[in-house]
């Protein structure tokens, strides 16, 4: 058994979108709906004074969804960890469309819950 973690970095984003809490709420809502995630509490948001960005954290039955935006650098960092495998979500298209990202890097990690029989992780 293993889970999946996505680490997403987007650069060249529109600073206004990165400072717009409604844009981020929409992103979280879309991901939660599309992936069938189950929040166990309300998402917590913290908006830093300008030119700072926003930090958001949603505790999920599956684990967590978190984001940190940096309007002053035109970037965002997003992390989604699910304790059960889920299909890949199209982070790049969404972030390029809604945040005007020039580049999006998505790292997908399989998180094993037990060591393999040989003691070496694949």
Catalytically active residues are: 63, 68, 83
Tell me if 115 sits within 8 A of 121, measured CB to CB.
Answer: yes
Largest CA distance in the chain: 51
């Amino acid at each position: 058994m293993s889970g999946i973690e996505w680490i997403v970095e987007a650069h060249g984003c529109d600073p206004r979108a990165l400072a717009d809490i409604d844009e981020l709420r929409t992103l979280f809502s879309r991901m939660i709906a599309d992936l069938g995630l189950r929040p166990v509490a309300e998402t917590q948001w913290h908006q830093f004074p300008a030119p700072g960005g926003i930090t958001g954290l949603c505790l999920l039955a599956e684990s967590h969804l978190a984001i940190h935006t940096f309007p002053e650098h035109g970037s965002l960092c997003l992390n989604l960890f699910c304790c059960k495998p889920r299909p890949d979500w199209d982070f790049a298209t969404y972030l390029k469309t809604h945040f005007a990202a020039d580049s999006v890097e998505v790292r997908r990690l399989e998180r094993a819950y037990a060591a393999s029989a040989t003691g070496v992780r694949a």
